[in-house]
Amino acid sequence: MTALPLDSPELSVKYFVEDSSAVRVEELIPVFHRWIRESVLEDELLIDVANYAHVPKGPGVMLICDLGQYGLDLRHGRPGLRYRRRRVAHASPQDRLAETFRSAIRAGSLLADEPALEGRYRFRTDEVELVIYDRLRAPSALGTLEAVSPLLGSFVTQLYEDPAVSLELTSRSNEPFAVRITTQEAPPLRTLLSRL
């Protein structure tokens, strides 16, 4: 049986910050350390903070977990909260999507409300990037987009309660498969979280 792209456990979801000029990535370091100390993400085993603030357009500052990675990601010069799910093989593709979106949205909400960040980190919700890090099952190609579209489109439509969801392949052929999801609706993160 041929594997489908969304069979891969290696997914990431990124919500972009509204105002890039407000981002001072290193200020995430103490925030993530506090999250570890206070077990803010109660269902995650939080391990460490990795600081790549010195690398232009890199992964920024990351919170390393047993099953995933959170990060204020600077890739392509567009800062955003990325959550990458790893090493979960047994859930259904639908469940994995829901879990990945839920983790990203929850972390985005927490950052938006983080007192130390003074409300400077707001995330737009009408644009999301989904990446599949699996070159075997999900090569960066239109065929992969076609394969993921039914499930992904339906998932996002349901989550956003928005029939006008658009999916666009944004990665080059030698990059991990990335799709830009745009919606007409832009519900607040809290609303999205309540639907998951």
Task: Return residues touching other proteins (CB under 8 A).
Answer: 2-3, 10, 26, 29-30, 33, 36-37, 45, 47-59, 62, 64, 66, 69, 75-76, 86-87, 133-137, 174-176
Indicate the burial class of 185 (C-beta count within 10 angstroms; 0-12, 13-18, 19 or more).
middle
Q: Toward other proteins, which CB reaches closer, 3 or 196?
A: 3
Cβ count within 10 A of residue 128: 25
CB atoms within 10 A of CB 61: 22
CB 82 within 8 A of CB 104: yes
* Residue 33 C-beta: closest distance to other proteins, Å: 6
Which residues on adjacent β-strands are paired with residue 16? 80
Q: What is the closest distance, in whole angstroms, from the C-beta atom of residue 69 to other proteins in the complex?
A: 6
Q: Judged by CB, which is closer to other proteins: 76, or 190?
A: 76
Q: Which of 151, 145, 138 is nearest to 92 (CA)?
A: 151
* Closest CB to other proteins among residues 21, 174: 174
Q: To the nearest whole angstrom, how small is the minimum distance from the Cβ of residue 113 to other proteins?
A: 20
How near is the Cβ of 16 to other proteins at its closest, in Å?
17
